[in-house]
Structure 1
Amino acid sequence: MNSTATFKIINPGLYTTIQDLGRFGYQQYGMPVSGAMDTYSLRLANKLAGNDAHAACMETTFLPPHFEIISDTIMAITGGQTELTINNISKPIHCNHHLKAGAMIQMGPVTKGSRVYIAFAGGIDVPVIMNSRSTYARANVGGFNGRKLLAGDEVFTLKKSIKFKHRSIPNELLLDYNPEQEIRVIGGSEMNRFSFEGIKTFLTSSYTISNKSDRMGYRLDGPEIKHKQGADIISSGICNGAIQVPGDGKPIVMLADRQTVGGYTKIANVITADLPLFGQLKPSDEIYFTHVKLDYAHKILKEREKLFRHL
């Protein structure tokens, strides 16, 4: 499938990268999965743009970019709350828009949540590396030259016949990105390495997102979680949402750009259905953890997927 230049970055915003659902099958070689921090919003944006779920989109953080449309396209925006203007005219998000060449797109700071996802008909066309177009900036792999987008970058999308049909997201499918969140977890693989008091502290305390947080993981500030016999273990695999507790007792939630193995005890794991909520948190946001059973976590995810399929 051929591609065409679709938009040009005027102002890249704070941190804008190309992401899809991730780079799977290469963790045994030390390559992180990467991909969207909020995969649910990325999938919604692709749905609105008429793409398959894995198509590459722009992921923006805190301050979205300002860009010019070079060729006619369909654009969809989902994720955190932002004010969208097209040619200085206010437009809604969580829906798609038919854009003509020359259109100027601007968005304000994200006021609820932290990330916005911008999809284009056909999907963004950057090289496929290890079955993914996602950016892993720490190693300059994937995305747009392995880095965040900069002013002057011209971005291509895969050619697709444009037949516009207005689509929007029903309210029941939108997640609530509050600065205070209940995050549901299941027990971690080393939960037995923590004292009863440590587990109780973890499940009854509130934690705030630290400034020392990024796409690799979120460090949490709050009460110390006590181990039975220390925090170190033989390094083992790390999955998305794994909650490690190092020697200082302060939890770290591993996210999209996480390393593939780690040597700290894992007290719990964020359930799949709540990972998008976690990916929209920002420094100073407050969370508390609730333990649920695995079958309940599966039930929640199946219910959401059922709603998504009917979109």
Structure 2
Amino acid sequence: MIEVLSTGAPNLVQDLGRPGHLGIGVGRSGAMDAMALSLANALVGNDDGEAGIEISLFPFRVRFQSDTVFACTGSDSRLLLDERALAPWWGRRASAGQVLVVERPRRGARAYLAFSGGIDVAPVLGSRSTDLKDGFGGWEGRGLRRGDVLPLGTAGNPVLQASGLGLIPNDIPPFWQELSRRCITVRAMPAAEYELFSHEARTALTSTDYKVTPDANRQGYRLVGEALTLSRPLELLSHGIVPGTIQVPPSGQPIIQLAEANTCGGYPKIATVIEADLWRLAQAPVGCSVRFMTVDQDQAISASKAQADERASLRSNIALMARRS
């Protein structure tokens, strides 16, 4: 078990989400940065979908109540295990009684903690993810509080020795450089109403920067930049939307739906961020600028395949290095 030593309602138990329930009004939820959580799970010998902790309010502190294998990925955050500094994107063993601190990120917005065996809370609709909008799943359907004691599942195949093991996916170093410049690029496909926006709006989408405003959370990010205008007035009935959908309300300032996206909405959609780049948005802090680059369906599929292939390769390499240690 682990004991939470710091408060922070935005810090949540999450797995990879509960797809397939939009028809009954239940969103996907799950980790904002699915790549980071799945690789943290790989470092501790779990399947990709085991539940961990998504941290977006720092510093975050936990005490291990038993010997545990853990890993922390996602943001560029310094870790302290009983005051001993550890690198980000690293996993190792902790002994009962030790305290882990995840400090405020130097770059990025969210860190992910995984534990061998996963966090053992009851699944709801096939997932252990917290759905904050509806108040179910995760730990009592809410964010974590000081004093919460979370049970861990039975460790399947913890692969790390005491000195630990780390990894850095290929996309992370250049992405951290982008974050240092406070501007990231994400790929997006034109959406259903793309052609109904003015030529100026379609040009602005890919040629100007849009800044993440303080009105940003797991449901979505409100951006501010050059207004995106329609070529003519348009009224739409509410219709299904998914994480990554870029909606444009009458103000002309875009909204990107994210992990806890509404299941339907009536604003026109200019584009949809491809699934392979949603993790980039998850790590974009308030004040960071976003620039969109349009791609087609084949490019979006290729990007998802490349990401899945790298994830599988990293998992294989982790297992190989563990056997050699």
Select 2:262's aligned residue among 259, 268, 278: 259
Deviates more, 1:296-305 or 1:248-257: 296-305
Within 5 Å, give how 1:1-311 maps onto structure 2.
6-13=1-8, 15-160=10-155, 163-165=158-160, 166-172=164-170, 174=172, 176-177=175-176, 178=179, 179-230=182-233, 232-311=235-314
After superposition, give the CA deviation of every residue in 1:166-201 in whole Å (9 maximum; x if it has no partner): 432145253624131011111111112211122112
Contact 1:84 1:91 in 2 (8 A): yes
Q: Structure 1 residues 304, 13: CA separation in 2 closer, same or farther (over 3 Å shift)?
A: same
Q: Distance in 2 between matches of 1:107 and 1:69?
A: 14
Deviates more, 1:229-238 or 1:45-54: 229-238
After superposition, give the CA deviation of every residue in 1:18-41 in whole Å (9 maximum; x if it has no partner): 001111121111111111111110
With normalisation by structure 2, the TM-score equals 0.90
Q: Structure 1 residues 10, 293: CA separation in 2 closer, same or farther (over 3 Å shift)?
A: same
Contact 2:69 2:116 in 1 (8 A): yes
Q: Structure 1 residues 129, 14: CA separation in 2 closer, same or farther (over 3 Å shift)?
A: closer
1:74 counterpart SS class: strand
Q: Distance in 1 between matches of 2:65 and 2:234?
A: 53
Q: Structure 1 residues 187, 99: CA separation in 2 closer, same or farther (over 3 Å shift)?
A: same
1:244 CA drift (Å): 0.2
With normalisation by structure 1, the TM-score equals 0.94
Q: How many residues align?
A: 306
Q: Distance in 1 between matches of 2:188 and 2:169?
A: 25
2:285 counterpart SS class: coil
Q: Which runs of 4+ in 1 moved over 3 A?
A: 161-164
Given residue 89 of structure 1, which amino acid in structure 2 is its aligned partner? R
Q: Distance in 1 between matches of 2:171 and 2:265?
A: 35
Q: Distance in 1 between matches of 2:298 and 2:8?
A: 41
Percent same amino acid among aligned pairs? 32
Given residue 75 of structure 2, which amino acid in structure 1 is its aligned partner? G
Contact 1:187 1:267 in 2 (8 A): yes
Q: Distance in 2 between matches of 1:102 and 1:231?
A: 60
After superposition, give the CA deviation of every residue in 1:54-100 in whole Å (9 maximum; x if it has no partner): 11010000414111100111000000011101011111221211111
1:280 CA drift (Å): 0.9
Contact 1:74 1:162 in 2 (8 A): no
Deviates more, 1:115-124 or 1:271-280: 271-280
RMSD: 1.5
Given residue 238 of structure 1, which amino acid in structure 2 is its aligned partner? I
Q: Structure 2: which 5+ runs fail to align? A: 315-325
Larger relative strand fraction: 1
